[in-house]
């Protein structure tokens, strides 16, 4: 595009009456565009950058071949949409700053910036996350370590004196066998369906649990033993790196002990528990679910599909009271007023709401006051193996 060019400089103060003739023509492509093949024109929608002189309806020349730097105005791709913002590279990861105080600073989990040739990912922000490692059908998995012939067969583990069912394999659950069923009532029925029953062996389960926790500590010293088959880990890395580390944890435990585990990764313990449930029951996830891998809308859908009673620490009684108020899903609880819920129920429910919003504020002791502090359990996993007891004194292991 050729435009007439004035032959004299233009003062920045008062206009000059001199030299009103044209001396030459210039091509704006030569002055404004460095790489024609990599340059595009985009139209701005919105007022988030008015402070930088970029208004709604303006058209911008964008050179995708340039390397973006700290403080540059860039076109970023956030959750599949283009946005123009000023890029700031911080120790906590990339940030996209508006030039209008009415708009928020963006802290994208994953960011692609137009620039640097092909779409160049901005430096990935290191994440600190909770990972819940959960043994799949723990007692049954332990029995299969020394009885591999039981792999794939419906298997149940019975309480002391073979009284009732305290653990079920996936295959046994598919047959409809429920926790706590008296064995004498279903023994004949189960036998006709190929169900194998094993007497509980808590010495074995405790030993293998201790080995699992020892393996976890080779990945991070920040291990909180929550129960015989669960532990929270604190991990740090990129979104993809955390998933790869979780897969490495699964592979190590499976190879060294023959025990399958699932791993849920999220910013809070409550969400990590939820992610672990998804990892365990969704074969396509290959045993690892990270909420960082999902867009906000997908996380909303997951929470909406989760009954409030399945959340960590809610339970049936509280779930019934919440449902009476119209709070039936995890998504509805997350969106509830935390202060109002604290006044009506307890501080624990307020913390559950905050955790669903990504604010880590629950320790494992808050969910089970009888458990030892993580600093004690980390040195000796055995206290976490003590079975809780019925009022009549018989052991009552956790739900498996």
Active site members: 48, 85
Element holding 158 (H helix, E strand): strand 155-158
Q: Give the whole-angstrom CA distance, residue 349 versus residue 331.
A: 14
Q: Quick check: 87 and 77 in contact, CB under 8 A?
A: no
Q: Quick check: 21 and 7 in contact, CB under 8 A?
A: yes
Strand partners, 83: 76
Take residue 136 and report the two structure tokens written for it: 């799949």
Q: Give the whole-angstrom CA distance, residue 317 versus residue 314.
A: 8
Q: Give the whole-angstrom CA distance, residue 231 versus residue 226.
A: 5
Residue in the structure block whose two tokens are 């429910």: 349
Q: Quick check: 262 and 286 in contact, CB under 8 A?
A: no
Burial of 41 (0-12, 13-18, 19+ CB in 10 A): exposed
Q: Give the whole-angstrom CA distance, residue 342 versus residue 338.
A: 6
Buried b / exposed e over 255-278, threshold 16 CB at 10 Å, is eebebbbbbbbbbbbbbbbbbbbb
Q: Give the whole-angstrom CA distance, residue 26 versus residue 325.
A: 71
Residues 6+ apart with CB under 8 A from 338: 350, 353, 354
């Amino acid at each position: 595009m050729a435009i007439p060019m004035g032959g004299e400089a233009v003062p920045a103060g008062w206009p000059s009456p001199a030299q009103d003739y044209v001396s030459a023509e210039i091509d704006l492509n030569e002055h404004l565009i460095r790489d024609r093949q990599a340059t595009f024109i985009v139209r701005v929608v919105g007022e988030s950058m008015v402070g930088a002189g970029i208004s709604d309806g303006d058209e911008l020349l964008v050179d995708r071949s340039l390397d973006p730097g700290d403080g540059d105005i860039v076109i970023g791709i956030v959750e599949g949409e283009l946005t123009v913002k000023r890029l700031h590279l911080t120790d906590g990861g990339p940030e996209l700053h508006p030039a209008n105080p009415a708009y928020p600073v963006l802290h994208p989990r994953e960011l692609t910036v137009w620039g640097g040739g092909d779409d160049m990912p901005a430096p990935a922000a290191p994440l600190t996350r909770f990972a819940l490692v959960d043994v799949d059908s723990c007692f049954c998995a332990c029995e299969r370590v020394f009885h591999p012939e039981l792999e794939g067969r419906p298997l149940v583990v019975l309480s002391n004196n073979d009284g009732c069912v305290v653990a079920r394999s996936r295959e046994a659950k598919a047959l409809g066998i429920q926790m706590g069923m008296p064995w004498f009532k279903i023994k004949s029925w189960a036998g006709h369906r190929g169900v194998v029953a094993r007497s509980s062996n808590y010495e074995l389960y405790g030993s293998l649990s201790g080995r699992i926790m020892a393996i976890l500590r080779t990945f991070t010293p920040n291990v909180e033993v929550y129960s015989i088959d669960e532990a929270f880990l604190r991990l740090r890395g990129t979104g993809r790196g955390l998933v790869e580390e979780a897969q490495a944890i699964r592979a190590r435990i499976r190879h060294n002990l023959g025990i399958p585990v699932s791993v849920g990764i999220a910013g809070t313990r409550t969400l990590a528990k939820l992610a672990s449930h998804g990892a365990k029951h969704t074969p396509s996830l290959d045993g690892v679910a990270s909420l960082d891998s999902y867009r906000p809308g997908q996380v909303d859908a997951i929470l909406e599909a989760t009954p409030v009673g399945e959340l960590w620490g809610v339970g049936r009684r509280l779930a019934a009271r919440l449902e009476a108020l119209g709070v039936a899903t995890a998504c509805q609880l997350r969106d509830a007023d935390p202060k109002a819920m604290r006044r009506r129920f307890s501080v624990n429910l307020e913390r559950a709401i905050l955790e669903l919003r990504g604010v880590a504020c629950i320790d494992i002791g808050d969910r089970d006051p009888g458990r030892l502090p993580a600093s004690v359990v980390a040195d000796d996993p055995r206290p976490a193996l003590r079975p809780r007891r019925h009022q009549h004194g018989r052991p009552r292991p956790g739900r498996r």
